Structure 1
Amino acid sequence: MADPAPFINWSLLALSPPGWGSVLLSGLINSIQIAIGGYSLGLLLGVGGAFGKLYGGPILRDLLECYTTIVRAVPELVLILLLYYAGTDLINQFMGLAGLPAVDISGLAAGIFVIGVVQGAYSTEVLRGAIKAVPSGQIEAARAFGMSPVKVMTRITLPAMLPYAIPGLSNLWLIATKDTALLAVVGFSELTLVTRQAAGTTKAYLLFFCAAGVLYLALTLVSNVFISIIERRARRGLAEAA
């Protein structure tokens, strides 16, 4: 009597056809690219937003408060759909008013922009809290020595607030890696979308979604290693809490 067919066909994960392993890895690379780009953009927006909220004028503070409140209140999936479709449409409308031809925005650029806008709102609040945690005496001493505002920011404020900001920023990085999965709804070929395509084609849903989960877990574990290294370096010289 012949042995029954195996429950899981592991050959479907092979890197060469008919395996889908290379497709999954390509989707993972796309997810990492979007996560890095979106996180970097969000960090830039967060730095500007945090300093604007703390040291900007009343109009700027109100605008930034509206930005952070709206983005954090609306579900991220809704924001992604709104920014991806409405944002692209608005850009092309402005291009048309300027007499320029419509542009075809790549999925990678749109994904980075969408994730960056969402990350920027959260980064603003994380960095604002970290800046406020810096002892005011350090900033006052720097000003007393005649440092310019730019030098105070680059040499005192930013280095001193890093130990307070890194835990929150590391969580935002992990959130960014998972938020890339939401871009599957707009058709971008990141890990979740290609996993769904592979599972739908082969009907091996358990195999491919478990494989995707393992890849996301591996990305998180590797990220945690680098985050720990960065955090230890940022906290060097600080007294350990009792």
Structure 2
Amino acid sequence: MTFDLYGFGPALAAGTLMTIQLALSALALGLVLGLLGALAKTSPFRTLQWLGGTYSTLVRGVPELLWVLLIYFGTVNLMHGIGALVGNPSLELSPFAAGSIALGLCFGSYATEVFRGAILAIPRGHREAGQALGLSKTRILWRLILPQMWRIALPGLGNLFMILMKDTALVSVIGLEEIMRRSQIAVTASKQAFTFFLVAAFIYLGLTILAMIGLYWLEKRAARGFVRSAS
């Protein structure tokens, strides 16, 4: 075996970069959907509670792989219709966009429950203190609720992100050339299945370790004021 893995070293590096981009894109979308879902489920309005609960239950009840396939193939006619309106009848959703939406949708459904639990863990007296100070509901949310919610939710979100990074391998079924897709191509060309799948395993392990380091830093930063007040 040569240093560049039979000539596939650069391809695996490109696949790693694609995996990171896909995971971060899905994370950004998932955090927004999760926060909106949690706010809906903790809202006093029954309609919003129903919408948040339906989203969380429906998405979590279907495997991630099916969501990838449904979004990628299910939007073909929709994208063609939009393309016809803008003069591009061959318009379609790219594998990267479909994968980001599908994984973000799934991440958001689980993040909804993490955020919801974090919101419910905040003592009710904190909201009452904000009201006593004359703060509006919006300022109470942004200045009191969300910072505390973020600190409480971080460990759960970190675990979800590590799962998300491994779930990016599912997007290889629709042709996105991330780590697993690049590894499969290398295996087909070189017939060295064990070598390339072992390399892929170490790449995922390395990404997980980096995510754990980043999560530790975020948790430490989020807990600074809390630690000082508790001491």
- Report the CA distance between 1:67 and its aligned residue: 1.3
Segments of 5+ residues of structure 1 without an aligned counterpart are 1-8
Select which of 146, 152, 157 maps to 2:134: 146
In structure 2, how many angstroms separate the alpha carbons of the residues matched to 1:54 and 1:182?
A: 32
Residue 167 (str. 1) matches residue 155 (str. 2): yes
Written as runs of structure 1 = structure 2, the 5 A alignment for 1:101-120 is 101-102=88-89, 103-120=91-108
Report how far residue 176 of structure 1 moved.
1.2
CA distance in 1, matches of 2:79, 2:56: 22
Q: Which amino acid aligns with 2:113?
A: E
Closer, same or farther in 2 for the Cα pair 1:63/1:95, shift >3 Å? farther
User: Which of 127, 130, 133 is matched with 2:121 structurally?
Assistant: 133
- Give 1:4's aligned residue: none
1:163 and 1:104 map into 2 onto residues whose CA distance is 39
**Larger mean Cα displacement after TM superposition, 70-79 or 196-205:** 70-79
Equivalent residue number for residue 177 of structure 1: 165
SS of 1:104 mapped into structure 2: coil
Shift of 1:56: 5.5
Q: Secondary structure at the match of 2:75?
A: helix
1:14 equivalenced with 2:4 (yes/no):
yes
Q: Distance in 1 between matches of 2:194 and 2:35?
A: 42
Q: Which runs of 5+ in 2 are unaligned?
A: none
Alignment root-mean-square deviation, CA: 2.0
Contact 2:12 2:183 in 1 (8 A): yes
What amino acid sits opposite 1:139 in the alignment?
A: R
TM-score normalised by the chain length of structure 2: 0.92
TM-score by length of structure 1 reads 0.88
User: Percentage identity across aligned positions?
Assistant: 38
Aligned length: 228
Report the Cα offset of residue 99 of structure 1: 7.1
Q: Which structure has the larger Rg over C-alpha atoms? A: 1
Are 2:40 and 1:52 equivalent residues in the alignment?
Answer: yes
Q: Aligned partners of 1:178 and 1:33: how far apart in 2?
A: 13
**Deviating 4+ runs (over 4 angstroms):** none
Deviation (angstroms), 1:219: 0.4
**Shift of residue 89, structure 1, vs aligned partner:** 3.2
Aligned residue identity for 2:198: C
